[in-house]
Each structure stands twice: as C-alpha cells, then as structure tokens.
Amino acid sequence: MSEHEPDSLGSALRVLAADAEAAPSLAGGQVRRRGEARGRRRRVVGATAVAVALVAGLAFGVPGLMGAGEAEQPPAATTPSPSLPKPPPLAAASLDTQNMVLTVTGRDGRSRSIGVRMKKGTALIRLTVAEKNPRANMYADLPTADKFVYDALWVVKLTRTGGAPVYITQVSPLTSRSSSVIAVGSADAKWVYDQLEVGDVVVPN
C-alpha cells in the first residue's frame, strides 16, 4: 500500500460524515411548493377557527342579543271559570205525616209506600240523610221525664235545619215513646236502610 492511500480513505470518510450531517439540499421549485402548501394549510386552519367562532356566537350570543331590550313578561294569569252552583239533591223519599206513610224510591227506580209509626203532631221540615248504622242506641221518653236507652236496628240518621236529628229505625216496643223516631215495620226496615244513602233527601208533606 502506498503512503497516499490512507489519506484518500480518510478524505472519503470525512466527506461521507459531512454529507450525513448536512441538511438535504432542495431545488428552488421544491422549496416554493412546500411554502405554498404550508400557506394553504394555515389559511384552512384560520378559516375553520373563524367558522367555529361564528357558530358559537350564534348558539350563545345571538339569542341573548335578540332578547336584550325586551322586558320579560310574566305569564298571563288564567281567569278561573265561574263554577255553577250545584243543583239541590233530588228527593229520595217523601213522608206523609198525616197518613203516616213513607214513600221511598228504590235503586231500581220503583217506589214503595210503607206505613210508619211516629208521634202525632211532630213538626218536620226537609230532612237529609247524614249517617247510617245497622245498630245504634236510641232514647225513649218516659213519663218520669227521664230517658231510657234502648237498642235499635237499621238506624238512618236524618238532620234538619234548626232542629234535632230524626231517626228512621225498625219498630220496637219503645219507638212510640220517642219524638225523634220514624219507626218502620220489621219487614221493611232493612229495605229502607239499604235504599237510602248519605245525602239523600226526605221531604215531609
């Protein structure tokens, strides 16, 4: 090997190392095209950002701007429609105080006239069924001015304006001694009890 061969080899290695470290050179046309591509990308990104900002403004800002200056109006108050008075309940029964007859209209629409027992001269006005009990305590008027409690069956309590309650109940030995009892025969007592309902009206005549 000659003494010049090591120098040539070293020179070749240095050239290769320098080529590896140096940035690759580009022609002028390639540099221009890369610059134009970067410019287009910047314009696209900028236009997209502007569009997003406009959409956000429409979604959040425009309704507020449109409503600005308009005073909030309270909801219109609804005027309640006037309620019509309820019609008075129809009479479910009538009481003939002279002939001692109670006439009741049953649930099937048919009427039945029933003889009753009550103190003569008892003044009655319009009566309303207020309560029903299959069994209740009643009071009998005794000659000693005391009151005697007795057991009564199928009791229908009737209220009246300005007076004490009146009761329709099954006849018993003591019902004739009570001024507040309309006694019904045993055969009809439960039927009357079943037909009359709370709120029904009994009209004396």
Domain boundaries, the chain: 27-66, 91-204
pLDDT for residue 86: 57
What is the chain's pLDDT, residue by residue, as a tens digit (205 residues)? 545 445 555 555 564 555 555 444 545 555 455 566 555 655 644 555 555 455 555 555 544 444 545 556 666 666 666 666 655 555 699 999 889 999 999 988 999 999 999 877 666 789 999 999 999 998 887 766 677 888 999 999 999 988 889 999 999 988 887 878 999 999 899 999 999 999 999 999 8
Specify the pLDDT at position 85.
62
Paired strand residues for 204: 95
pLDDT the model gives residue 4: 47
What was the pLDDT predicted at 100?
92
For residue 28, give the 3-state DSSP assignment.
helix
Distance between CA atoms of residues 169 and 139, nearest Å: 12
pTM value surpassing 0.75:
no
DSSP strand pairing (147-160 vs 127-141): antiparallel
CA–CA separation, 151 and 165 (whole Å): 17
Distances (CA, A) of 104 to 3, 12, 29, 48, 69: 149, 134, 116, 89, 72
The whole-number pLDDT of residue 158 equals 95
Return the CATH superfamily for domain 91-204. L,D-transpeptidase catalytic domain-like (2.40.440.10)
**Which among 191, 190, 161, 196 is positioned nearest to 91, based on CA atoms?**
196
Query: Which residue type, as a one-letter code, is found at position 139?
Result: Y
